Chain A
Amino acid sequence: MSAKQRDKKKWLFYVSVIWLIINIFPGVCFSQPAAPPIVFGMPAPLGETASIAGWKAAQMAVEELNAKGGVSVGGVKRPIEIYSIDTREHEPGIPIHDALMAIEKLILEKKPHAIAAGPMRSEVLLAALDAIVYKYKLPYMVTISMTPVLQTKITENYDKYKYVFRINPNSIYVVKLLSEVMAFLGKEFGFKKAYLICQDVLWAKATINGVEKEMKATGWEIVGKDIYPTGASEFSASLTKVKETKAQVIVPVFDMPPAAVLLKQARRMKVPAIIAGGIEPAAHSDAWKVFGGEVEGMVNTIFTAGHIPVKALPKSVEFYEKYGKKWGKTEQEKFFGQTGAATAYDSVYVLADAIERAGTLDGEALVKALEKTDMMGSIGRIKFGKDHQVIYGFDPKESAIGVAFQWVKGERVVVFPAQVSEGKIILPPYMK
């Protein structure tokens, strides 16, 4: 082999090596600076079921969006990152100030472009409005807290509070849902007498007072109303009165675990009245097992679709199944209560949609884009009112929806609203 041929071979060898390197590691050779991520935050009480489920649902939405290449900001696809912080606001003795500090810590450390979900307690939300939201001017999506005071504040001082949007229903919608269920019971079975029992907390009292007003206006006789302290575990006084007054419906509104005693005691005392209201521990799909089947016949409410698959709303079924597949059915049974997960999931999509339409991450532009949101989510059609509250109604094609279901032989059967019902309310065996 001549020297010239050897040089040619060497040259060919070097070219081949370079070609291989370029082909095997193209990202290394021609990488451009990666698009910076879009950052979302989720400050919430991460030891509480609605927030646990919400955090997992939000992560799931982020993964889905990133799998599609991320979110387009002004024509550039950018991945999403989401961070959480535990505000512990559900724990007894945790001052509001601690929760606010946690929210601010997340904002200062992770520098999110928007808050995608939280908080749970209305007290934290209202305090955060002035202390944090206005200060940092971040779009803030509310996914659990239910106080209607938020809408009043936004309406009265739009420029200051315009950054806050609520995906979950406020207590006014819950009253509306419960009142419609009662109207349905009255019409279907001719019931006229009801006994109201609720927990001594602000949202539950506001809800029961609203329901009482609506029921009286539609001709119901309210034969009794009792408010129980949060730790109560003995309900015989009320249940005896229910029997004596011959009330046909017991309307409970509770989110505390001891409310389980009320359900069990009513069955044990053979109280011949249907229980129709809102008891959070009895909304979970494993409640039949937890309560030993003593939820039979109870009509319960779920504030947002998606926490129960609603056949007439395919997105709710899709979300419910995807969550179960990703995090496990057992996890889903335990953490899916009345709200929190579907709202956090949809919230991430609502933000992504607004960012794409706005073409920027600027807070002011995002607020404008969010106000024009009109999309289908697992909770139904998502549109914000002027007060930045997602509009709730009874037709998922027109609005977001909450549903009422009845426990029948171990299954949750959606019975209200009529547009999505999958069965009729039937009288439980103890009323026949």
Chain B
Amino acid sequence: MVMSILIYGGLNSIILALTALGFSLTIGISGVANLAHGGFYVFAGLLTWMLFDGLGLPYFIAILLSVGVTGLLGALMYWTVLLRVRGMVLSEVIATLAIGIGILEFFRWKGFVLYYGLPYFVEGSLEIAGVTIDYHRLSIIGIGFVLLVLLWLFTHYTKIGLAFRAIAQEEYTSLCFGIKSDWIAMLGVAFGSALAAIAAITILPLGTISIGVGYEVLLVAMAVAVVGGLGSTLGTLVASLILGYAQVITATFLAPHWMMVVYLVAIIVVLAIKPSGLFGELKELEERV
């Protein structure tokens, strides 16, 4: 039982982190709460399915194309819509929410109301201390860690990555250093969207793709981002660990019925004690003032 909680709690945490990473990155860099995150997630899943199952492309090629196209879609959304409303928080929220719902409902309208499955990356399973876990879930853990490491390296050792951090810290000052904040913000949204696609392609083979998943993913991403602190990658990771383990422990010792309540309770508690989230910096200064 304990090993099962440790292993599946950890796995659940990585899944939550992957789900929320793109959302958190976007808000951290561009300051935009991308509520189209769930729409991009389902878009990437269905696009991969269409390319792989419909057109018969190799799975790996279908994945690469989906991630690329979803990233481009994010950039397009920024350039055509968000650029015009940037800085007006309410307008950004309304615009991204409308785009997200538009994507999901477009698929519903086109008849994608069923269940579509993606294959596992790796077949088979193994036993760790009496707990059976499959290779695909293990690969999710691996992908999660690799992504986090790559993201850290990218934001610390590349020019674009440093520019990401610069506008995240102080946009007006970064302008003085010749950083085109609109371009970087657009890249940030594109990166966030591509991360949503990676999450979708990694997680969706565990179940099936359906329109409703888009709405659920958005709720999860928002819960993790709020608890961890908006825009903080470290916060996203810590919040994922807390929520992931809390969910599995709740399901094991209380009842699975309360699993979804964990998110809501965590949000309420964090907002009551530390409104900026566990590692949030965006509001912290305001709070101090």
Residues of A at under 8 Å CB distance from B? 47-49, 52, 92, 200, 226-229, 231-238, 240-241, 244, 256-258, 260-261, 264-265, 268-270, 281, 284, 287, 289-292, 334-335
Contact = CB atoms under 8 A, between A and B. Distances in A.
B41 to A, nearest CB: 13
B142 interface: no
B213 A257 contact: yes
A292 B108 contact: no
A237 B132 contact: no
Q: Which of B1, B109, B116, B117 has the most CB of A within 10 A?
A: B117
B117 A52 contact: no
Nearest to B209: A257
Given A236-B8, A238-B251, A264-B206, A226 B257 contact: yes
Contacts of B210: 257
Contact of B259 (A232, A256, A284): A232
B286 to A, nearest CB: 33
Given A228-B257, A236-B4, A290-B208, A49 B113 contact: yes
Contacts of B120: 292
Contact of A281 (B15, B115, B259): B115
B91 interface: no
8 contacts: A231-B219, A234-B12, A234-B259, A236-B8, A240-B131, A270-B132, A287-B115, A289-B117
A281 B208 contact: yes
A268 B132 contact: yes
B256 interface: yes
A292 B117 CA distance: 8
B108 A47 contact: yes
A257 B259 contact: no
Interface of B: 1, 4, 8, 11-12, 15, 108-109, 113-117, 119-120, 125, 131-134, 136-137, 206-208, 210, 212-213, 215-216, 219, 247-248, 251-252, 255-257, 259-260
A232 B207 CA distance: 11
Nearest to A225: B255
The 10 lowest CB-CB distance pairs between A and B, nearest first, are: A237-B251, A236-B8, A257-B210, A268-B134, A261-B207, A231-B216, A229-B260, A260-B208, A260-B207, A240-B4
A213 to B, nearest CB: 19
A247 to B, nearest CB: 15
A166 to B, nearest CB: 24
Contacts of B212: 92, 231, 256-257
Contacts of A228: 256-257, 259
Contacts of A289: 117
Contacts of B251: 226, 234, 237-238
A233 B207 CA distance: 8
Contact of B207 (A229, A258, A269): A258
A233 B1 contact: no
A234 B248 contact: yes
A227 B206 contact: no
Q: Which of B120, B125, B251 has the most CB of A within 10 A?
A: B251
A111 to B, nearest CB: 29
A287 B256 CA distance: 26
Contacts of A232: 256, 259-260
B257 A227 contact: yes
Nearest to A287: B115
Nearest to A331: B111
Contacts of A48: 113
B114 to A, nearest CB: 5
A141 B213 CA distance: 32
B8 A234 contact: yes
Contacts of B125: 268-270
B260 A290 contact: no
Contacts of B113: 47-49, 52
Nearest to B3: A240
A284 B255 CA distance: 30
Contact of B256 (A226, A256, A291): A226
